[in-house]
Structure 1
């Protein structure tokens, strides 16, 4: 290994955080000259410039950013190892990098993540929210919460929930338009389109009595943030097809009304995805276990009334509890 003194990496980390060598020196309780010497030594050992220096600021170079990302993770792992090896072995520490869909995060995950952080004050959450495809391995994500089929054999997946999207609309929309009675009726409605996997989700498939019907829907709105599509539906702008997990609050309040209840959309499972072949820190395992318990409790709560009236039709019912982790397979 080219780096001879691992403490030199702290200069890199603290300079990036504070924006200056003086700030890094203050954090590390050394002189600015000593901090400067440590950074020069690190650059000399690697043979690359880690910062572009100016009179006003220190700006990371591309190699500097790469090394910073890895150094931060390395020190997180060391801190966790120290905690596990000492009397404080029960404490979870370090950064936890989580990626999740926008609507699921806003409608369900935020209070759960807050609860997890209160329980584990040594953990720092780095949350990436969005509906576009994300490379879990390349982007160095600890865990990604994702809907849909699995297609990357590099990942290990743990099932969190089984769900089927449902069609819904607001009472205001239904007051202006007759409710669809069959999937084909959706072609005469304003359907709210959002991107799924980076592409517009326009082909809605339903089955009844073993027969599948596919409808290509259209509307005057498309968005790459599914939470905005839900907001449009609540405002009466059109018809939505989405997981009942994301719509549960609106459905419970009556802000959205379920439609086409005799038809079932395609299953759309929810997984926690972790990079395979890599050490999984305790904080990551703890979060996945925590979310699995939360989703299992949600499934039980939804299944109870649904099973009483419609044994086989609950869109999010028994079996949604966490399953055994398995390796994603190419589709």
Structure 2
């Protein structure tokens, strides 16, 4: 078993590009992860990495071993997952990703109860508003807000999430309240942007159908929560999922802009690789989230 665990560490080091990152992903210290790699090299009789002060790079032998080792580890994971259906005992790591706002407000509060019901499952929740890669990041489930991507991954839509344009009363008093979608072009729009962002525009739901606007803003961020903070500080207008700003709308700290032509709803969905469908803990966690969030999801729709 230590040999198998060392192979798993090796695979994550290759995928994440450093011993520190690979070890952290496996919940190991850099020293322990480094020792696992050294033991593996000693056993195999080859050098798996070329190490420099700046970079860790696989040798030709290391890349060859990784290509075979990754298939072995995936097969072992699939075999353990299949046996869980017989034993009824879920076990192993469950890697879940989500955008920051969605993860913090809706998913994170659900994790402890699921973990209490399945003590042999380790849930690794990764929150980021950046675009993720299920295969490269070795994710089991990716929850997301947005249009379903064109991909070979399995998808399950959980709800339509309404959005709202929001700003502070002070900002609107100082800069004027937009009376039409086109008037947004004269305002500082707070934009969610990051490398390889799927879109840099807002689409509003009008009586004539969807209207796409290439809005402008003097600053942007790759964190949805930062946009909320900027809006609350009176720096501009933000386009937000309504559940993320409901509290601020209720208190009056933010007010809705152009409620008659709101942004188009966004989809709340999850993606997972086809091979993960046979893993009972993947199906069970998705079902658990969908059931636990039914009141909120019903309110969103």
**Structure 2 length as normaliser, TM-score?**
0.75
Partner of 2:15: none
Indicate the SS of the match to 1:199.
coil
- CA pair 298-231 structure 1, distance change in 2 beyond 3 A: same
Task: Check if 1:235 corresponds to 2:233.
Answer: yes
Indicate the SS of the match to 1:154.
coil
Rounded to whole Å, the distance in 2 between the matches of 1:266 and 1:196 is 21
Indicate the SS of the match to 2:95.
strand
Superposition map of 1:210-229 within 5 A: 210-229=208-227
Deviation at 1:168, TM superposition (A): 0.9
Deviation at 1:192, TM superposition (A): 0.5
Superposition map of 1:296-307 within 5 A: 296-300=294-298, 302=299
Which of the two has greater helix per residue?
2
Partner of 1:115: 113
- CA pair 181-139 structure 1, distance change in 2 beyond 3 A: same
Partner of 1:288: 286
Count of equivalent residues: 276
Deviation at 1:66, TM superposition (A): 6.7
Rounded to whole Å, the distance in 2 between the matches of 1:151 and 1:13 is 30
Unaligned runs of 5+ in 1: 1-5, 25-34, 54-58, 303-315, 318-331
Indicate the SS of the match to 1:258.
strand
Task: Check if 1:85 corresponds to 2:86.
Answer: yes
Task: Tell me if structure 2 keeps the 8 A contact 1:160–1:295.
Answer: no
Write the deviation string for residues 34-65 of structure 1: whole angstroms up to 9, x where unpaired. Answer: x95x7644x25xxx534679xxxxx8956477
Task: Check if 1:182 corresponds to 2:180.
Answer: yes
Which of residues 3, 17, 20 in structure 2 aligns to 1:8? 3
Rounded to whole Å, the distance in 2 between the matches of 1:207 and 1:14 is 49
Write the deviation string for residues 117-149 of structure 1: whole angstroms up to 9, x where unpaired. Answer: 233222212233222322223432111112222
Deviation at 1:245, TM superposition (A): 2.8
Task: Tell me if structure 1 keeps the 8 A contact 2:171–2:234.
Answer: yes
Task: Check if 1:150 corresponds to 2:154.
Answer: no
Superposition map of 1:61-100 within 5 A: 61=58, 63=63, 76-77=77-78, 79-81=80-82, 83-86=84-87, 89=88, 91-100=89-98
Which of residues 145, 155, 159 in structure 1 aligns to 2:157? 159
Write the deviation string for residues 252-281 of structure 1: whole angstroms up to 9, x where unpaired. Answer: 333322221111322321210111255531
Task: Tell me if structure 2 keeps the 8 A contact 1:106–1:227.
Answer: no
Unaligned runs of 5+ in 2: 11-22
Task: Tell me if structure 1 keeps the 8 A contact 2:201–2:213.
Answer: yes
Rounded to whole Å, the distance in 2 between the matches of 1:232 and 1:208 is 27
Supply the RMSD in Å over aligned alpha carbons.
Answer: 3.5
Task: Tell me if structure 1 keeps the 8 A contact 2:81–2:278.
Answer: no
- CA pair 176-214 structure 1, distance change in 2 beyond 3 A: same
Partner of 2:259: 261
**Structure 1 length as normaliser, TM-score?**
0.69
Deviation at 1:113, TM superposition (A): 2.7
Deviation at 1:13, TM superposition (A): 4.7
